[in-house]
Structure 1
């Protein structure tokens, strides 16, 4: 064994010992098995102990499993951890590319076959490129280190990662276990190789019974779990409840999966039976469903109570299928608020109810399916014969009637949205005139300025005020003054174009932004229209008030390239207008 292999073996041993010690010290329960990934990248070989929820694999520098071979994609594959609470088992699933849907260049190749996704099994060889590969192992955590080395180590340093049949892994895995039922089954020597080649190494590791008989009804294999649960299986053979009626002709169809309920010693099992004529065998997987059946009975008893609670909730609940988004369940609140009957909603596609943010909603559902992490979103739902409804939505992925479905819970946030819009309006608009406030006008100006710079267009900035406003306030009072400011603002708005922006700057001062000025003649037409409009008398509570306006104008980019310099020069132009007798305008020179 060369130095590289010795270093790898040493690191492997240290990693496994450290982890087993950590589990003992922390008294942690992580299931019966260790999940290992041995990765080879060109000349480098390393061990990864799988514990996290997700591992991104590729050339990306921030990936959890990084490859250096240029033939490997940046986002080549993703390993996701899944948990089955009913069976208390962890599984690792590998996907081609990233969780966002970006696929690899070479494809996901496992055991010389191409997959979009696959649940990893003991011994699986993952080929990323000619030089980059990895092999997955499932090891009993109580195994001695030497036994683990018998399974995953070799005198040949490259043996664990070369592309070959998994038979040797099955042999190595079975070496340390008793071959349960071997004497009873009476396997001939010439059949042992054939037997091991068809046996997945997980069978002996599985905590669930796995049993095989040939097509003549002879018991050929059962694992340790089957031996412990059914100790008389070999003696009773086909008369045992587990094997009875398995040879009935109506079930023996190639590839047929038959599921039956099995009662044995006050326990209830589900037996999954595979008829496999090509392999000349019938294989059974047996799961204890006693607790589940008891729970189902309790659930049936409490279903009426559950439905009563759901129907009384002040939130809408819609269940829809994970594959085609068809609605399968709706509570009364959702019926009432959307004004559809139950019959109209059942089997309707949930997308037909979404009025806004369709793509964002679909993307969130796709991510939820991959990550199992619920999401929240605000959107609008269509209401029958009425305006859309603003809602806040929470969606989770649940198991409902043995199917994966989306559970969406939503509530009406129309009043909250109205209040938010009202507060936003108050924040951005002057309470007296309804025009923009100074802060929002500056925000609008910055957007128009950036656009003018990109397209090389001209902007005019106007500073205006009401001539002799102080005297009007003193003579007629503040109420008349306020009415004058309101009417003054309305006349200014009518004199400007739809694309122009107008704000009350403070007191009787106003600022106008005029984008896309094509010529000075166009600007003068607008200025003359303002002067003429303001000259007409104002009627304020049966009081006729005569006034005029003075205007100062600065031009971008001629007089400045930022708002401060343009405002300063427009203000200077305004004072020149006042010095010239008011009731007119001055364009800064």
Structure 2
């Protein structure tokens, strides 16, 4: 701070020195200039006497007199004239001081004033006398033109040397230095006063100025003063408080703005990168901005829609009431959300889920609308697929039970006031399980699809065909006038379903058993209507299949009875309460029993003995036949082993094998396991399979038959002659015995066709070297016919009824 205050003092001293120097400079230059001008005037005066007209000697003499005069004059001065040069009108040297004289017109080689390149330029351009000191302060150059009567005659240049200081000059410089020291002392004293009373408080304030605005600016000593510094300090303290408060508010505002900028940046990023389309409009619903997703979803570029109304996207699927209701919600609630169909740029109409919000300012005035939407085409398609899967059969595409129930309810509601009827046809395919088990599920599924196609072709568009599962179908006739209408449809179904099916190069057949129930007389709702039709279907199966039956009240009792039998059979199997009876197979020529057929018997706890013709079909339909067959096989093996232990002959025991049992898993492995567990001999076991079971064999089952024969087990074809397949399988398969069906044996002696069939079977067996057994032999007439044509082994009431094992004591 002291240096800052001393700076003006130094400037003052430098100014005084400059003025002293300038005065000294002016005094030197003035003296030299006066002498030079005087010499110029002298030369000019001499020109009247033609001094400059070529009299060089006269000029030189004049120069010598001038120098001498100047030397006397300048003894006590700082200036000493050293050289005089006289130039002519052309700038050439006319004369100069020195021992050697120059010739007229010689070029001037001495010093020239600054800015002058030659003596000629000096004479011609400088009209006024002047003087200047060189840069080393050693010499002084003075110049004056020589004019006479308005004519430039030439010029004179004087060179002076600066002599050392004399006593007078030293006194002048000493006074100058004394005044300067006095001024410095006064300035230092003034500086100390300034530092004490002005500078120190200012320095304290300046040092604390960086804290201004921080809330920490505090100078108690200065604040207590009652002068300007106290006022300034208090003012700065108040300013510090206000600035600090303002800074806090400003920082908060900056932070809020930074947060707002971040939010805006984030919002802009979300806006542009959102997977949902976004549209922002003004209060008049003109589009202001759209995002990238909008362009992708609609096909429009933003330049194509800016300024336009979103109605350019309308699909035409919604009427004016739809949009009026939408805008009523937006205006009342500020928001609307829902599904809407709109059109892309390429014309494709698609569904989208959209949310429209009304944006208002702080005063509540509407400023914008913003719509956010997404394409829900895939979701709608998925919903339709889910709905279809939930209401339709996956295999056939028909309605399922859920959809059928809805349509039955709707049909009942429609006919309730008209007095008309609703009919339900419950259809079950006869023998389908056998086809499915023997040929595989792929063939079975193909047949079900073909059945579904035939059923749909037989009904009206207003009717419904449904699949309940497995091989069960239902047909809803939604509006009929008479029961006969349902009967006519049922007749068509029976005829159509019975037509052959060509699948994988094979001709397959099935037939329907149909139960019919009618609303309102048979049931009051959809579930009861289906149950009644189901009951009628079981009655159709019971009376022979391949027919239709209308529901009656007594059928319900029959169904309950059947369910009771199925339940009792299941319990009997679980308790191992089934028994075997054995019917002998008799060789007429040898007159002895050669084997037995094991026949299962069931004694119900309440109803007593149940005929096999009643419970075997139930076991087939319910799937219990597999467990039942296992029981029969195991008990037959145990009985064979018991007879062996009792010393009886090793009789062959024949066991019937159902189609489901044969095709259910690895049959040969299960048979071997039973033999191992019971310890029975395989040679004593014969397995009887029906011709239809082997009707459509597969390679793996053919292999199993050979495996069974390799064990020593005999394979027999039961009910031979009732099938409708080719006989080539007899050559390929491992068949040991054919059993002539009892339906042919009963007619022997009475029906020539049956006799011809029996004779053909006997000859076929003899040709293929296959054993024969005739079933159902009850008369001597039948026995004799069979013996006469070569069949010696017979089974029937003529030779013995089925009895418990204990009843047979044969050797």
Question: Please, what TM-score do these two structures have when normalized by structure 1?
Answer: 0.45
Q: In terms of Rg, which structure is larger?
A: 2
Identify the structure with the greater strand proportion: 1
Question: Please, what TM-score do these two structures have when normalized by structure 2?
Answer: 0.33
